[in-house]
Structure 1
Amino acid sequence: MALSEFCSHFPLLCPRCRPSKPPHEFCGFVDIGGVDREVRVETPHFPRVEGMRISSDTCLQELVVSHMDQLLEAQKTSSTALEYLQKFQKVCSEAVRCDNRGREEGELQVELNESLVRCLLAHLEGLGWSRVQQVSPNFTSFTLQTRDAGERVHLLRVRVADGYPHEEPTVEADLPGGFEFNYEPSEGVAGVVRVWEARLASLQEFWDVMDQIDKVALVLDPPTPCRHHTFRRLLLGNQVNVQVTLSPQQPRHLPQCLLFGPSKRTRPITTRLTHTYEEWDAERSFVENLEHLLGESVVRECGGVEGVEQEVECPICYSLHFQGSLPDQPCEHCCTPFHAACLYDWLSSLPAARQSMNIITGECPYCSKNITCKIPV
């Protein structure tokens, strides 16, 4: 009844659930201010609102952050997931309408700095209009794009003040370690672009290796890899996964490896790694090297996480990612992994659970044997 009512109010949200279990998440679209916005709604205790979490695109997320107080109050005063999502929709839709009115009024009052516009037009002309992806109506920000040797598209977002070119612009670039440059007012943005493209050229081998990993291996984390990410979390099977962190300067050298899983399964792999790390061969592919050193096969990318979801998802919330973390808290008896936050909530609800210092102990929700968890700060 609760599910049918939820779906009748939000027909573009598709429930995801286990057999004979309530839905633990909904994926799809919600009408926000007349526009269907893509959202992911986590409902670990459906139809109750407890633990409910809404993920969305960047535009909607900015609205959520700016109206967080209202939304937190709405969640506190809601008893069901449906009630909260309806309040969420109302708050965000009203915010969009207010924002649109303000933007329309602002567009009517845009005053252009004539000298800034002339200067920017000349500088963008010098760079070539093929590099210009977008320019704001008041000419205070613009986005440049380029393709590297591997045909990867890169964006440089630039904001300028009225004092440009004498005043240094603010830039954003998706690069590992950030983007630093020495600004020369005489060159303006052209000097920044030159440094940016040189940095892109120096990172070609790094991105080649990362792209190879993404193509071959099943990546658990980050959920959406970006060019600045230097790590990948890979599944080995047997409830064990490894996080590898590469050096952007030496991507074909031995990476930093961090194993996650039950100690009885990670300990032999760690022992082997201490003996084999010198056998890393820069001529081999990254995944082949890793498999040789660890003595374990890396799960391949074929069908995505859905094909192995029972092995990698937390059996409490039935999700892989929760509050930005993976299921890193394993039971040492049955080897089932849990999110630390989910496990703590579960153990806290048990009358027989015991707390000592910053540790809580109780029955594993999967095998009923003792399991411990740190109490969140």
Structure 2
Amino acid sequence: MVLLLLLYFAFGGWLYLQECAEQRRCREMAEASTFYRAVYSEIEEVGWEHLVRFGGDLTSLSFRILDGKGRMHIIEIQLDKTHPKCPPSISADVPYMFDLKWSTHSRLKDVVQQFKKHLEKLQAFWSTLDDIDRSLWVVDPKQASPAVSYRQINMGNDCFIMLSINAFDPRSLPECRFIGSGPIVNLLRNRWRRNSKRWIKDKQFLENLKCLLETQLPIPPDVQKNEQQVECGICYAQSLPIDEELRHKSGTGTDYTCDNTSCKRAFHSICLVDWLRSITTTRQSFDVLFGSCPYCSEPVAVKIDSMKK
């Protein structure tokens, strides 16, 4: 009899535990079903065309967003199972993230809208980097992510500068490191220190950079290849050396072209002046030298003081 009672109570306890487990599973399924329905509904609001990937349990979502300039960005959203009670975790390939504003009534579309506003704040930052990539000889990084805020630029003569752009204030004076050895590096470093107060936010970034370094900024090699006759017909160099004695001509490219359409040879005006002075047939009138083109013998005229500021 006692054994039967023990078996009865044991069986009853087992049934109770089974019932509790079943109730728990039902609650979890109901909660999961509610979670899935809510997330599906919120994805619909954002637009399925923007969804690029998602986890099997829908707690991990990635959306593709285009900014005002047509740049594509991916925002990763990690949802808690208690969504929307707990704010999601977010990440994106940007220089810094925004502070997400969230409440129990917030939805995925609110995250996307806040991200879009954040992207708009970064437009000036990315535009500055685009100008640098398009106009200067950038050697690192080759394929920069939107989060990278530095550029290493080849200035020639084994001299490099590392510019770090302030993502919060991209038009401000950037941090600059000079890489290399020798007099050219020291010369540019001294110019940067001497002229740093001349940086003006209202001016274009590249114009400011040229003003501080007092030299012609090197263009990308692929652009150089596409340009015709960029090398000087006398010294056969694209740019003059960086030298204090050359003043504002230091590091500049060719600035004089033969008018003969069948010649169109380019020269540094300084080189052409030196060459004309070596020719006995050259004439001078005031500050202008008159002579012949070294290549086609057509008349040329160049100012002697063109090298003086």
- Per the normalisation by structure 2, the TM-score is 0.58
Partner Cα distance (2:178, 2:218) in 1:
15
Partner Cα distance (1:121, 1:210) in 2:
38
SS in 2 for 1:113: helix
Q: Does structure 1 retain, via aligned residues, the 8 Å contact 2:159–2:185?
A: yes
Q: How many residues align?
A: 195
Partner Cα distance (2:66, 2:105) in 1:
26
Match of 1:241 among 148, 160, 173: 160
Verify: 1:260 aligned to 2:179, yes or no: yes
Aligned residues: percent identity? 23
Verify: 1:116 aligned to 2:47, yes or no: no
| Largest Rg, 1 or 2 | 2
Partner Cα distance (1:215, 1:136) in 2:
38
How far does the alpha carbon of each residue in 1:142-186 deviate from its partner, in whole angstroms, 9 at most, with x for none? Answer: 111221111111111112232222122221111112343232231
SS in 2 for 1:213: helix
1:263 shift after superposition: 4.8
1:141 shift after superposition: 1.3
How far does the alpha carbon of each residue in 1:237-282 deviate from its partner, in whole angstroms, 9 at most, with x for none? Answer: 1111111111223212221111111053322212212222222244
**Runs (5+) with no aligned partner, structure 1:** 1-111, 305-377
Q: Give the AA of the match of 2:171.
A: R
Q: Does structure 1 retain, via aligned residues, the 8 Å contact 2:137–2:155?
A: no
Partner Cα distance (1:115, 1:133) in 2:
23
Partner Cα distance (1:252, 1:196) in 2:
22
Poorly superposed stretches of 4+, deviation over 6 Å: none
Q: Does structure 1 retain, via aligned residues, the 8 Å contact 2:165–2:174?
A: yes
Partner Cα distance (1:171, 1:274) in 2:
40
SS in 2 for 1:235: strand
Partner Cα distance (1:127, 1:119) in 2:
13
Q: Does structure 2 retain, via aligned residues, the 8 Å contact 1:219–1:232?
A: yes
1:291 shift after superposition: 2.2
Q: Give the AA of the match of 2:82.
A: G
The within-5 A match list for 1:99-138 is: 113-138=32-57
Partner Cα distance (2:39, 2:214) in 1:
57
Partner Cα distance (2:73, 2:54) in 1:
16
SS in 1 for 2:45: helix
- Per the normalisation by structure 1, the TM-score is 0.48
SS in 1 for 2:215: coil
SS in 1 for 2:148: coil
Q: Which residue of 1 aligns with 2:61?
A: 142
Verify: 1:278 aligned to 2:197, yes or no: yes
SS in 1 for 2:166: coil
Verify: 1:168 aligned to 2:95, yes or no: no
Q: Which residue of 2 aligns with 1:182?
A: 101
Q: Give the AA of the match of 2:132.
A: I
Q: Does structure 2 retain, via aligned residues, the 8 Å contact 1:237–1:298?
A: no
1:132 shift after superposition: 2.1
